Amino acid sequence: MKCYANWDSTGTPVDFDMGPKATELRSQLRDLVKTHVPEGFLGAFTDDPADLETAQRFCRALAERNLLCLAWPEEFGGGGASIWEQTVVREEMWAHHEPRGAQYMGVNWVGPIIMRHGTETQQRKHLPPIARGEVIWCQGFSEPEAGSDLASLRTTARPDGDGWLVSGQKIWTSYATMAQWCFLLARTHKVGAGATRKQEGLTIFLVPMDDPAIQVRPLRTMLGPHHLNEVFFDDLRVTRDDVLGEVDKGWSIVQDVMSFERVGIARYARCERLLAAAASVLGDRWEDLPAELRVRWMRMLTHCRRARLLAYRVVSLQDSGRIQPGDAAAYRIAVTKLDQDSAEVLVDIAAEVSPDDPGGRWFIDEVEDHWRYSQASTVSSGSIEIQRILLSRAMLART
């Protein structure tokens, strides 16, 4: 499988071609979605617990066919496929409302990060359950006064015998109500007391969410239940066995996490699917839409193409080990803006669709869901302002 997603020496755009193998994989994934995911499914995190169970069953179905962690090495329970095949999985899943549920986090970045930085014991403990679709992870990063400026976090791990006691608060923690494990970032040395910069003295811990020292409080928002939560740590006991990588060196792992996470969601795939469906849903009434609206629709399809190419470029750089923060930032800026801009166009189109028309109710519900999620896209996983700063720094460094 080949994929061209870069620019040649003259600066001319080079197209991509994933070939027949990708086409066959897409067809297989779509058949599985049609078979295992009920019509009207809008994600796992609704008021109906059946939606979460649908996602869990679907993950097991993917795992049984070695498709859940397709590009993972075989020794870690994966399929040993190319990163481009995993990209196909990523696109098809997000296009169909992520029927893997919260598992995408374990598949896309928790697992790969543990492969890179974990001990052999940690790899044996954590990777097989992720590959089987049996475990959900959450990310303990953001805090009330440390979101985009993550290095300013205040959750501390103070020494206690042969380990630490962790105390503090995290916020905006997705899936914390259902997760079995947390990828937790805490400060093990304060600035001026072992750390000269705020990015130093930070450590990653892998901790079980059923520990009584951890309390989760859901934050109900327009995104629905289960998505966002506050998490409180009250003298959570951790040991060196829970440390991922080196003590006080967690910031380098955080940078790795961000590179994987920011390209891990193929937002452009859902945008493109809904935009492509608009004309068929309206049928003969498509030509009656204002010309200005159809021009905006066409512009969004072009922006989908741009975001896809940027994503493929980042995947290629990631695969070669040459990815830099600016590369991921450029993609994030394009795809999050696409998310919001396409949502506005789709809402205007959906206003012309009758819910009584065949497919009309489906389209309206999907567009509404897409619009709600798009509102948070420019602040989640690092705000767009921070992405612009990262990209600007990268561009200045090249001059």
The Cα–Cα gap between 186 and 205 comes to 8
Model pLDDT for residues 191-236, shown as the tens digit of each residue: 877 777 889 999 999 999 999 999 999 988 776 666 789 999 999 9
58 pLDDT above the threshold of 70: yes
**Of the candidates 142, 71, 81, which has an alpha carbon nearest to the alpha carbon of residue 111?**
71
Boundary-marking domain end, from 135, 162, 187: 135
Q: Is residue 260, in this structure, part of any structural domain at all? A: no
Q: Quick one: DSSP state of residue 309?
A: H
CA distances 292 to 274, 277, 296, Å, are 19, 18, 6
Q: How many CA atoms lie within 13 A of 123 on its CB side?
A: 17
Same-domain check for residues 275 and 212: no
**pLDDT above 70: residue 382:** no
User: Taking 90 as the threshold, does the pLDDT of residue 83 lie above it?
Assistant: no
Give the tens place of pLDDT for each residue, 383-394.
777 778 777 887
Per-residue model confidence (pLDDT) at position 6: 46
pLDDT for res 12: 42
Check pLDDT > 60 for residue 77: yes
Task: Taking residues 254-272, report their average pLDDT.
Answer: 81
- Quick check: 129 pLDDT over 50? yes
Does residue 298 sit within a domain?
yes
Co-location of 96 and 40 in the same domain = yes
Asked if 111 and 71 count as a contact pair (C-beta separation under 8 A), the reply is: no
CATH code at position 166: 2.40.110.10
Q: In which domain, by residue range, is 25 found?
A: 19-135
One domain for residues 34 and 131: yes
Question: Is the model's pLDDT at 359 over the cut of 60?
Answer: yes
DSSP one-letter code for 383: -
61 lies in the same domain as 131: yes
Check which CATH number belongs to the domain holding 297 and give it.
1.20.140.10
Look at residue 318 in the predicted model and tell me its pLDDT: 73
> What is the percentage of the chain residues whose pLDDT exceeds 90?
58
Is residue 256 one of the residues assigned to a domain?
no
Residue 10, in any domain of the structure:
no
Which residue bears the tokens 């512009």? Answer: 299
CA distances from 97 to 44, 49, 102 (A): 9, 16, 11
DSSP-derived pairing of the beta strands 137-140 and 181-187: parallel
Say how many domains are in the chain: 3
Residue carrying the six token digits 């809008």:
42
Q: Write down which residue in 108, 135, 162 finishes a domain.
A: 135
CA 330 to chain centre: 16
> Could you read off the pLDDT of 152-162 as tens digits, one per residue?
999 999 999 99
Whole-number Å distance between alpha carbons of 46 and 62 = 22
What is this structure's pTM? 0.85
Same-domain check for residues 224 and 343: no
Question: Residue 226: inside a domain, yes or no?
Answer: yes
- 11 backbone φψ class: left, alpha, beta (φ>0; ψ -120 to 50): left
Q: Which of 135, 158, 182 is the last residue of a domain?
A: 135
